């Protein structure tokens, strides 16, 4: 098969990235690079590919958008050779295996450097490539717990509260891996040499908490949850329920913004339990403000705040966020195959970033990618015949995309998959 012509318009147009299919932060990093114009090829399992989490439809796995997929059997004698052939032509490779797994599969950093000394080898793990926890398994909550951040998140007298999987997987993981890739590429332009990026979510999460690590020794932050400026302790920085069951978010930290908030709430500061920064009065002050917010609907409060600098905005559902006036004006969301999703960010004035393709099925582009990346036709035919690679569209009988997605193919697969070997 031939791959349809694709247009890459972002600032990374021309960059070739090989992503060894995994879960969470690795795919997010690859998505960011693809959004910004890189030609990203995802290496999926040839047999038994599956998705973690609540979604089981590859076509709707939006973090896989913007790239093509080749299906490779890494336990096949030629499987590693397929990956190394692609790595020879890539600028970047990303993997999320437990430390040592890529080496055992024959696609570790040294294997790739022998074929391509300039390649940037991005490694995404929870605890890093070394250290006493390097081989421990875990997920976002484990990494941010170890980083110290989870201890800070939650309301007063409540347990530490997982902030979705934003701090470890995406902020401290995938986003920093993508940034590391770009930094390494900049250095390679000067040295001519590649290098390994050891991106650990526990390190990245801690980095995101730099400001709070700085607050602790000065006494400006208390270890107690829900007792500080931006952790729901302050009455002027919290979410409040309204009369219709909706919520508003308030962030009026500065005195002049706080004064405007009180004006919107029709509260006289002199009659309140305490001043803005009287921490002893915060619980009582919060009760007064909460009672006042319960007297009107969410949208009524939003209307009342217009024209004031009260730092008051509605807490939108995800569906509302995609349809908000501001999001529509900025085109902050895009729709692909009926699925609304965030548009690429940030914005570039000359080289706008766009989503170039919907999420692929595993192996949907195997033949086309191999051809595009310079593999001889005879070798592609050999790999297909031997089962080293699978092309979903070329498979006979049951639709290969369905077979792979449902895990119904019976050929042996690696037990060192990213989902099983993540650390």
* Residues noted as catalytic: 139, 169
The string over 135-171, giving b where at least 16 C-beta atoms fall within 10 Å of a residue's C-beta and e elsewhere, is eeebbbbbbbbbbebbebbbeeeeeeebbebbbbbbb
The structure tokens listed for 125 are 């793990």
Residue 357 CA to residue 346 CA, distance in Å, equals 19
Question: Which residues are CB-contacts of 114 (< 8 A; sequence separation ≥ 6)?
Answer: none
Length of the chain: 423
What is the C-alpha to C-alpha distance for residues 212 and 206, in angstroms, rounded to an integer?
A: 10
Of 72, 50, 71, the C-alpha closest to 61 is 50
CB-side exposure of 354: number of CA atoms within 13 Å?
Answer: 10
> Residue 91 — φ and ψ, nearest 5°?
-90, -30
For every residue of 257-318, DSSP letters joined together read HHHHHHHHHT--GGGSSS-TT-GGGHHHHHHHHHHHHTTS-HHHHHHHHTTS---EEE---H
């Amino acid at each position: 098969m031939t791959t349809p012509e694709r247009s890459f318009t972002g600032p990374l147009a021309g960059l070739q990235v090989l992503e060894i299919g995994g879960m969470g932060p690795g795919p997010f990093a690859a998505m960011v690079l693809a959004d910004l114009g890189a030609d990203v090829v995802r290496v999926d399992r040839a047999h038994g590919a599956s998705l973690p989490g609540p979604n089981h439809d590859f076509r709707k796995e939006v973090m896989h958008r913007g790239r093509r997929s080749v299906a490779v059997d890494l336990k096949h004698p030629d499987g590693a050779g397929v990956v190394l052939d692609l790595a020879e032509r890539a600028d970047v490779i990303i993997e999320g295996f437990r430390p040592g797994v890529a080496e055992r599969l024959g696609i570790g950093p040294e294997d790739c450097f022998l074929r391509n000394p300039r390649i940037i080898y991005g490694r995404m793990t929870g605890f890093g490539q070394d250290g006493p926890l390097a081989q421990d398994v875990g997920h976002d909550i484990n990494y941010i717990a170890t980083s110290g951040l989870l201890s800070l998140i939650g309301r007063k007298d409540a347990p530490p509260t997982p902030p979705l999987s934003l701090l470890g997987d995406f902020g401290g993981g995938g986003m920093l891996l993508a940034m590391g890739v770009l930094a390494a590429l900049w250095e390679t332009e000067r040295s001519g040499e590649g290098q390994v990026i050891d991106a650990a979510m526990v390190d990245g999460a801690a980095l995101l908490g730099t400001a709070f690590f700085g607050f602790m020794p000065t006494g400006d932050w208390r270890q107690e949850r829900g007792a500080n400026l931006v952790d729901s302790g302050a009455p002027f920085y919290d979410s409040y329920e309204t009369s219709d069951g909706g919520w508003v978010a308030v962030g009026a930290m500065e005195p002049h913004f706080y004064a405007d908030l009180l004006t919107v709430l029709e509260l006289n500061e002199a009659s309140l339990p305490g001043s803005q920064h009287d921490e002893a009065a915060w619980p009582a002050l919060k009760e007064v403000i909460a009672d006042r917010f319960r007297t009107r609907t969410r949208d009524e409060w939003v209307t009342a705040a217009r024209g004031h600098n009260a730092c008051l905005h509605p807490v939108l559902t995800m569906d509302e966020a995609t349809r908000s006036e501001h999001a529509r004006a900025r085109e902050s969301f895009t729709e692909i195959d009926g699925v609304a999703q965030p548009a690429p960010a940030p914005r570039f004035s000359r080289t706008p970033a766009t989503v170039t393709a919907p999420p692929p099925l595993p192996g949907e582009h195997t033949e086309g990618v191999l051809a595009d990346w310079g593999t001889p036709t005879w070798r592609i035919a050999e790999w297909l015949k031997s089962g080293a690679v699978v092309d979903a569209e070329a498979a006979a009988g049951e639709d290969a995309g369905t077979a792979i997605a449902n895990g119904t193919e019976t050929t042996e697969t690696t037990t060192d998959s990213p989902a099983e070997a993540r650390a």
